[in-house]
Structure 1
Amino acid sequence: MTSVDPSFSSRQHACPSLVSFIIPKLVPVNEYPWGEATATGVGSYPGDDHMEALRTAFGELPMPYLPELPARGVGADMIGRTAGLLVELPVEVQPSGWRVSDRPGRDLQRALDHLRRDLDGLEEVAQGYTGPLKIQACGPWTLAGAVELRHGDKLLSDPGAVRDLTESLAEGLSRHVADVRRRVPGAEPVVQLDEPGLPGVLAGTVRTASGFGRLPAVDPQVARERLRTVIDALAPAFPIVHCCAPGLPFDVVRTAGARGVSVDAAMLRRRDEDHLGEAVEAGTALFLGVVPGTDTRLPDVGVVAKPAVELWRRLGFAPARLAAQVVLTPACGLAGASPAYARAALARCREAARVLREDPGE
């Protein structure tokens, strides 16, 4: 079953004399592993009770996810959690942060223990579950900008080290996805690569380990190739890239093979919308952050859904595609929120997603 390219109607109005010569691209309705009116979380969650976090994710969301709980300490943070997945590239914690080490130590073991407990809990909570399941890991560029080499410089400063890190991450993530599939056989994995550091990597604004200088900008083609290495290793999972910083390079991410992008609606700049529009027209899914990540008074569902509806209208796409191609999320992780607010925020995203289907702004 297919539907007409969502941008066709806007092109038709813009140039009616060419209507008879335009053959619309057909976009499969079932190209995404989720149904219409879907919401999910971004990554982090407050507290240290991983079972409660999992029950909340599965109880409140049509697309549950594997929460990260950084409050548990070393190895539960985004960098340490992902570093624990690296193959034959051990790391340890130094006063300046995570650093490559000669051999596995207790810091790495803590990261592995946290992840193992989370996966055991996932297997218990998700018994009998079928459908999309989102998991997260730090992307190669953000990881390279955070982890240091043995002598103290950031991995990002050494192109060869970045290549080795990328290959190690690709293999480790592939094993991680296979483990999730084994534990939850009915799941259709959606794998989110967190790349908040990618805009800075391309702009040359990442500081050196000393903090006194900046590392050279990475060529977009190199950034694309390294990101593609990791994304290709995830197949057949559905890969998306998340960035809660302004300036996500949509063209780099899309051409690297990402099938979805995850952004904070408040961070989108008007000059980004042309690039975002091209990605959406090509079928890229949009995970849009619409609820604050820290405690506040939550607005009603219509207000929460409004940024998605208005963005879709500005981009000129058919309203009928909105609920299928857009997934609502909090603006970023919820680690800084209270547990009560985190649960309410996820529920509000779920409720607002229904608005996209019931009243898509026609």
Structure 2
Amino acid sequence: MRTSGLGSLPGADVAGGVRFALEASSLPWLPEFPARGPWAGMIGRTLGMLEGIGASLLAGEWSFTAVSGVDQRRARATMRDDLDVLEENAQGLTGSLRVTAAGPWTLAASTLLPRGGHVVGDAVARRDLAQSLAVGVGELREEIERRLPAVTVALQVDEPALPAVLEGGIRTESGYARYAAIEKEEVVGALSGLQGDVLHCCAPGLDPSVAVGEHGAGFRALSLDAALLTRADLDRWGPLLEAGKELWLGCADARTPRAPHPDALTARVLRDLRPLGLSEVTAAAVVLTPSCGLESWPIDQVGPLFTALRTTADRLDEELTR
């Protein structure tokens, strides 16, 4: 059983954080550091990846604009700096390296149109955003693989707004109404264009078939908050694991900024997974993670958290396959 992180780390020590993310878990990733400013958070960082769409941060809200604003340009410069740090610290790395980006639906729910209203309410704008993002993340993959030829880049797509988008739960700019639900076919089409590997959603109510089902978006893994999963939700995963999909189980609560004790974490995960009757093969398809990013955590708790995850993973390899 493997372990990994999910995007953000606290503080602004990029070099130290990158080295930590390369070494602390089974599946290394390029972390985000939102403490540097809104251009370095999930939404701003991803808007910096867009190809051919300008954006600006106005009165605390991201909005599409005719030309790139200073914060979007800063997001692009910050990403270039992060890639320089990654290249310097990842020499000799082989295998998979994960990068993260907000998905098209969370971006559409979080970004305004120039004339007002969110992108999620405009079909043409939604299409343009999805296409622009697909080009941008493709270029990011190519750039990392050019800098680190022995690495294969995997894409984690962060979609906390996805259940609300599918259910018609995104509020309008005024807050007094909601945008219409988006059809599953359109949602799947936009996600498929990213050719992503892991879809992360820390909100309740997501139907796994959107990401990893037979007619879903083609992700090999779905990352979910264990605290939000019902017994019925977990029972769906037996067939999916047998079919070769991966469950990234957010078993360490990121809302509580303190590392769990390995004994308590092991007991919690055993309670969730033992009813699935995992084999050695399907147990290997479970990845243990925090439930979400760690930007608000004390830095001195992050190391113990990943130690607890590794200890739990080692114990579960023995317990679940007896």
Q: Do the structures match in fold with TM over 0.5? A: yes
Q: Distance in 2 between matches of 1:206 and 1:270?
A: 27
1:281 to 236, 242, 264: 242
Q: Does 1:298 align with 2:260?
A: yes
Letter in 1 for 2:114: R
Cα displacement (A) at 1:270: 2.4
Q: Distance in 1 between matches of 2:161 and 2:77?
A: 26
- How do 1:184-223 residues align onto structure 2 when only pairs under 5 Å count? 184-223=148-187
Q: Distance in 1 between matches of 2:239 and 2:321?
A: 21
SS in 1 for 2:38: coil
Cα displacement (A) at 1:74: 2.5
Structure 2 counterpart of 1:55: 19
1:346 to 289, 306, 310: 306
Q: Distance in 1 between matches of 2:111 and 2:71?
A: 14
Structure 1 residues 152, 176: closer, same or farther in 2, change over 3 A? same
Q: Does 1:247 align with 2:205?
A: yes
SS in 1 for 2:250: strand
Gaps of 5+ in 1: 1-36
Q: Is the 8 A contact 1:40 1:350 kept in 2?
A: no
Letter in 1 for 2:258: T
Structure 2 counterpart of 1:138: 102
Q: Is the 8 A contact 1:70 1:76 kept in 2?
A: yes
Q: Is the 8 A contact 1:100 1:150 kept in 2?
A: yes
Structure 2 counterpart of 1:74: 38
Q: Distance in 2 between matches of 1:262 and 1:97?
A: 27
> What TM-score comes out, normalization by structure 2 length?
0.94
Q: Distance in 2 between matches of 1:196 and 1:98?
A: 17
Letter in 1 for 2:304: A
Structure 2 counterpart of 1:269: 230
Structure 2 counterpart of 1:19: none
Q: Is the 8 A contact 2:221 2:245 kept in 1?
A: yes
Q: Which shows bigger deviation, 188-197 or 321-330?
A: 321-330
Q: Distance in 1 between matches of 2:289 and 2:268?
A: 12
Q: Which shows bigger deviation, 199-208 or 320-329?
A: 320-329
SS in 2 for 1:88: coil
Gaps of 5+ in 2: none
Structure 2 counterpart of 1:329: 289
Deviations 1:72-100 (A, max 9, x none): 00210100000000100110001151100
Q: Distance in 2 between matches of 1:322 and 1:353?
A: 14
Q: Distance in 2 between matches of 1:275 and 1:323?
A: 15
Letter in 1 for 2:209: D
Q: Is the 8 A contact 1:38 1:323 kept in 2?
A: no
Cα displacement (A) at 1:274: 4.0
Aligned residues, how many? Answer: 318
Structure 1 counterpart of 2:74: 110
Q: Distance in 1 between matches of 2:251 and 2:235?
A: 20
Structure 1 residues 162, 277: closer, same or farther in 2, change over 3 A? farther
Deviations 1:103-149 (A, max 9, x none): 11211111012111111111111110112211110011111111111
Q: Distance in 1 between matches of 2:220 and 2:295?
A: 26
Cα displacement (A) at 1:358: 3.1
Structure 1 residues 268, 115: closer, same or farther in 2, change over 3 A? same
Q: Is the 8 A contact 2:242 2:282 kept in 1?
A: no
2:125 to 151, 158, 161: 161
Q: Is the 8 A contact 1:39 1:327 kept in 2?
A: yes
SS in 1 for 2:133: helix
Cα displacement (A) at 1:322: 4.3
Rg bigger for which structure?
A: 1
Structure 1 residues 272, 257: closer, same or farther in 2, change over 3 A? same
Q: Is the 8 A contact 1:263 1:287 kept in 2?
A: yes
